[in-house]
Amino acid sequence: GLPARVRIHEVGARDGLQNEKSTVPTEVKAEFVRRLADAGLTTIEATSFVHPKWVPQLADAEQLFPLVADLPGVHLPVLVPNERGLDRALALGVRRIAVFASATESFAKANLNRTVDEALAMFAPVVEKARAHGLHVRGYLSMCFGDPWEGAVPVHQVVRVCKALMDMGCDELSLGDTIGVATPGHVQSLLAELNEEGVPTSALGVHFHDTYGQALANTLAALQHGVTTVDASAGGLGGCPYAKSATGNLATEDLVWMLQGLGIDTGVDLGRLTATSVWMAGQLGRPSPSRTVKALSHQ
Ligand code: HMG
Ligand code: MG
C-alpha cells in the first residue's frame, strides 16, 4: 500500500541554488525560503556551511540564516561537512544539520577531497557533537545508483556506507541518485537490501534527479516500499557542482501533482508553490524545467 502522508524535504534553496552561476542576492534567497514556507513546506533546507571557495553561491550562509530562522513551524536544516561547519551553524542557532557522504570513491574525492572512509571519519565527531547539542542529523548519501566516473554502483557498497552513517548516530538518511540514472527496480533492490541489513525504512528518505525522466517512477517505487520522506526542489532547480552530469532535482511541483492524484497528503498548496517557482525563474532569468510548473503557469 501507499502512505497516507508524505513529508517533503525541500532542497531548492540549497541543492537548487548551489550550482547557480549568477550570484543570487541574499534577500532573494530569504524571500524564496519564506515563500516556500508560505506554500506549506515544513522542511526547507536553507544553505550549507561549507568552504566558501568550494560553493561560492552559498558563501552568504551567515547572512541568510538569521533572515529566515524565525519562520514558525518550519525546520531549516543546513549542510555541514566538518567541525568548522558545525561550529558556524551552532553559532547561529541551527537545529538540524546534514552531513553528506558518498557511496563512491570518485565522488568522495571530487566533493569532499577525501576517500569514502576519510569522509566518514570527518563526519563522526560532527554527528556526535551535533547530537550532544540536541540537533537532528540527516546523513546524505550520494551516488547510490550510478556514478559519472565509476558507472553502476553495487548495492552492497551503498549499504555499507548507509550502515556506517546510521551507526554514527544519524537520525535519517537520504539516498541520493545524484546523476539521475536509477530505475524503479534498482530502487526496490536497494531498499530491500537495506531492510534486510536492519536499516529501518522509517529512517530513509529518497533524493532523485530527473536526468532520464525516472524521478517520479522511482519515487512511487520507494513509496510502495514504505518510504515517507521525499526530497524535491521547487521548480526542479539545481544539480551538484561536483557531479558534472547531474541535472535537475525532482521538481517539488511534479511530486506534489503525483501525490495529490494518489490522495497522499503533503500540506503543500500547489498554486502557491508554482507561483513561487515562477517568481524564482524570473529572478534567475530562465523558465523552470518542471512540467507541472509549465502546465500550471502556461509558461
Ligand atoms: P579541504 O580543502 O580538504 O579543506 O576541503 P581542509 O579541511 O583541508 O581545510 C582547508 C581550509 O578550509 C582551512 O582554512 C579550513 O579552515 C577551511 P585555512 O586554515 O587553510 O585558512 N574550511 C572551512 N571554512 C569554512 N567552512 C567550513 C570549512 N571547512 C574547512 N566548513 C571541505 C574539505 C569538506 C571543506 C570541502 O571539500 C567542502 O567544503 N566541500 C563541500 C562541497 C559541497 O558542498 N558540495 C555540494 C553538496 S553535496 C550534494 O549536493 C549532493 C546532495 O545534494 C545529494 C545528491 O544529490 O546526491 C547532498
Ligand atoms: Mg540533488
Binned at pLDDT 50, 70 and 90, residue 81 comes out as very high
What number is the average pLDDT over the span 192-210? 97
pTM for this entry: 0.97
Distance (angstroms) between ligand 2 centre and the Cα of 226 equals: 21
Of the bound ligands, which one is closest to the alpha carbon of residue 99?
A: 1
As a whole number of angstroms, the distance between CA 149 and CA 195 comes to: 28
The minimum-distance atom of ligand 1 relative to the CA of 85 is 31
As a whole number of angstroms, the distance between CA 19 and CA 56 comes to: 9
223 vs 5, 131, 201, CA distance in Å? 10, 29, 10
Distance (angstroms) between ligand 2 centre and the Cα of 145 equals: 13
Ligand 1 pocket test target in 10, 51, 54 with most atoms within 8 Å of CB: 51
Can you read off the three cell numbers belonging to residue 159? 549499504
Q: How buried is residue 263: exposed, middle or buried, by Cβ count under 10 Å (0-12/13-18/19+)? A: exposed
Distance (angstroms) between ligand 1 centre and the Cα of 184 equals: 32
**Residue with the nearest Cα to atom 56 of ligand 1?**
178
Angle (deg, nearest 10), helices 61-68 and 26-38: 30
**Of 35-44, 194-203, 238-247, which gets the smallest average pLDDT?**
238-247
Query: Which residues are the active-site residues?
Result: 240
As a whole number of angstroms, the distance between CA 45 and CA 172 comes to: 14
Of the bound ligands, which one is closest to the alpha carbon of residue 80?
A: 1
**pLDDT, position 19:** 87
What is the length of the chain? 299
What number is the average pLDDT over the span 92-114? 98
Distance (angstroms) between ligand 2 centre and the Cα of 45 equals: 12
**Residue with the nearest Cα to atom 2 of ligand 1?**
113
Distance (angstroms) between ligand 2 centre and the Cα of 209 equals: 6
**pLDDT, position 21:** 85
- Using CB distances shorter than 6 Å, the residues near ligand 1 are 15, 18, 48-51, 54-55, 79, 81-82, 84-85, 88, 100, 111-113, 140, 142, 176, 178, 207, 240, 242
Which residue type does 175 have?
Answer: L
**pLDDT, position 70:** 95
The minimum-distance atom of ligand 1 relative to the CA of 81 is 34
Work out the mean pLDDT of the chain and round it to a whole number: 96
As a whole number of angstroms, the distance between CA 210 and CA 265 comes to: 23
The minimum-distance atom of ligand 1 relative to the CA of 55 is 44
The minimum-distance atom of ligand 1 relative to the CA of 80 is 31
User: Tens of pLDDT along 145-175?
Assistant: 999 999 999 999 999 999 999 999 999 999 9
Checking ipTM against 0.90, whether it exceeds it is: yes
Of the bound ligands, which one is closest to the alpha carbon of residue 143?
A: 1
Which residues lie closer than 8 Å to 66 by C-beta, 6 or more apart?
92
Binned at pLDDT 50, 70 and 90, residue 82 comes out as very high
User: Tens of pLDDT along 202-248?
Assistant: 999 999 999 999 999 999 999 999 999 999 999 999 865 555 655 68
**Of 36-45, 256-265, 284-293, which gets the smallest average pLDDT?**
284-293
